[in-house]
């Protein structure tokens, strides 16, 4: 049984901004036994396309979904779980936590020191620029969400300041192919969680600066800076109504450029070793990120120059309803490749759960197969032990 507090594809219906398109190409939109079959494999789905895609999967699989059923508590009792919902209670031997990795916006604690005159929006609340008051906007965070929102808000005619911390720079296309084609073909997406040196870091890595547009444009800090978005360093503090930005922009840029070049080297090595050089364009390298001649280190938030703040500072899951002691002090679920630290409890849909691609929709395909094997084994064993019939 699948319990859903809203409707099928709820997060895509209710928690995304109006103009969002997937940054993964259509050919990569896959769910187990189900894939995009339309006429534009290299295009990028709008939110209504994603809702149709996920809803189509639910129909095709005849998934037993109970919509408008919010899980308010999951408790362990002996070898069973007691699941309390807004629509009745259930007992079951196994629970898969598929409640998403992006339920809540992570907003830094310094927000409490902001002058009350500023209007604040999280990326989960933001829909379009019309929502914002007239005047300047500070977008905090320059990963996929931050660069996309800074670009859209700037195009609406507002002055945008973009505060940039650690980020992952990627070109949309490389040697004539989508950069995510390279991730797929070179095997990077498939890298397993137990083969990654620093798994904790891989799981916390910011999303890449990518946007899905019909024109297949790159959206990096050079593009935004040229368009007129003011780039400043990481928002490090708010003191006496002033926002203080870190001075380490050049280092941040150099690091992101270095990592991008290393990744492109990996792609080149792969193409050479697989004798694929003839199938792709010539090797490319991109202009380093241009540091502004002098970036501002602070800004008076009471002066009226900035009227609103958009937090694009990342998301985190919400497990406030999970009454099983498997969440650490930082809010992270304790699990080994999705096998949670409590018998019969599993998770799916979390960043780098079992592979690098687990962060994305198509990652569920292989992860589900692996986890179901484990889950079926668990149910078979506990059935034999207790002679109980299946849920
Ligand atoms: C802004 C943004 C852009 C993204 N862009 C891309 C992209 O371009 N390509 C890509 O592949 N991936 C993208 N992702 C990642 C993508 O969202 C995830 O890979 C995918 O949604 C994971 O699916 P899921 O079903 O695990 O989680 P979700 O889609 O988050 O679904 C979780 C569901 O659980 C429900 N739920 C939560 N709590 C409860 C509860 N207590 N009781 C009942 N129901 C509950 C929610 O209503 C929701 O419907 C993006 C994510 C975000 C936030």
Nearest CA-CA partner of 356 in 148, 201, 179, 142: 201
Can you read off the two tokens belonging to residue 342? Answer: 């409590």
- Cα 229 to Cα 80, 118, 179, 255, 303, distances in angstroms: 54, 20, 25, 21, 19
Grouped pLDDT means (10 residues each) for the chain, 391 residues? 98 97 97 95 98 97 97 94 97 97 96 96 97 97 98 98 97 98 97 95 95 97 97 97 95 97 98 96 97 91 96 97 95 96 96 97 96 96 58 43
β-bridge pairing 88-92 and 80-85: antiparallel
Which residues does a 6 A CB cutoff place in the pocket of ligand 1? 3-6, 10-11, 16, 22-24, 70-71, 98-100, 102-103, 145, 315, 321, 349, 360-361
Residues across the chain: 391
DSSP 191-245: -BGGG-TTHHHHHHPPPEE----TT-----HHHHHHHTPEEE--EEEEETTEEEE
pTM of structure: 0.95
Closest CA to 124 of 353, 341, 387, 311: 311
Q: Dihedral, CA atoms, 284, 289, 290, 294, nearest 10 degrees?
A: -170
Would you state the pLDDT for residue 300? 96
Nearest CA residue ID for atom 26, ligand 1:
349
Q: Left, alpha or beta for 297 (phi > 0: left; psi -120 to 50: alpha)?
A: alpha
* pLDDT for the residue numbered 220: 98
Instruction: Pull the structure tokens for residue 69.
Output: 């059923």
* pLDDT of amino acid 382: 80
15 CA to centre of ligand 1 in angstroms: 9
List the residue whose alpha carbon is closest to atom 35 of ligand 1.
99
If phi over 0 gives left and psi between -120 and 50 gives alpha, with beta otherwise, what is residue 344? left
């Amino acid at each position: 049984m699948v319990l859903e507090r809203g409707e099928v594809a709820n997060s895509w219906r209710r928690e995304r901004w109006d103009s969002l398109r997937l940054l993964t190409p259509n050919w990569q939109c896959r769910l187990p036994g189900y894939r995009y079959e339309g006429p534009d494999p290299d295009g990028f789905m709008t939110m209504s396309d994603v809702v149709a895609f996920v809803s189509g999967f639910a129909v095709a699989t005849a998934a037993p979904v109970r919509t408008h059923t919010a899980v308010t508590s999951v408790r362990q009792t002996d070898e069973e779980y007691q699941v309390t919902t807004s629509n009745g209670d259930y007992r079951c031997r196994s629970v898969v936590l598929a409640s998403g990795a992006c339920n809540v916006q992570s907003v830094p604690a310094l927000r409490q020191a902001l002058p009350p005159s500023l209007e604040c929006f999280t990326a989960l609340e933001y829909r379009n620029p019309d929502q914002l008051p007239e005047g300047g906007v500070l977008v905090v965070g320059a990963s996929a969400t931050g660069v996309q929102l800074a670009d859209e808000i700037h195009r609406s005619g507002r002055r945008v300041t973009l505060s940039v911390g650690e980020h992952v720079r990627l070109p949309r296309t490389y040697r004539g192919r989508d950069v995510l084609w390279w991730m797929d073909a070179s095997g990077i997406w498939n890298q397993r969680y137990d083969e990654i040196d620093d798994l904790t870091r891989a799981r916390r890595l910011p999303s890449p600066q990518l946007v899905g547009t019909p024109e297949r444009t790159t959206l990096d800090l050079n593009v935004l800076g040229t368009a007129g978005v003011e780039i400043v360093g990481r928002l490090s503090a708010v003191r006496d109504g002033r926002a203080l930005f870190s001075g380490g922009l050049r280092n941040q840029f150099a690091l992101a450029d270095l990592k991008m070049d290393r990744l492109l080297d990996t792609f080149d090595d792969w193409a050479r070793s697989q004798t694929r050089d003839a199938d792709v364009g010539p090797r490319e390298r991109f202009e380093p990120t241009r540091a502004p001649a002098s970036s501002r280190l602070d800004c008076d938030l009471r002066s009226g120059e900035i009227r609103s703040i958009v937090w694009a500072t990342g998301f985190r899951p919400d497990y406030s309803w999970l009454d099983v002691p498997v969440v650490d002090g930082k809010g992270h679920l304790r699990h080994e490749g999705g096998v949670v630290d409590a018998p019969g409890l599993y998770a799916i849909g979390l960043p780098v759960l079992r592979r690098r691609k687990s962060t994305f929709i198509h990652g569920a395909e292989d992860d589900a197969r692996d986890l179901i094997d484990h889950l079926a084994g668990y149910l078979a064993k506990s059935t034999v032990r207790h002679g109980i019939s299946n849920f």
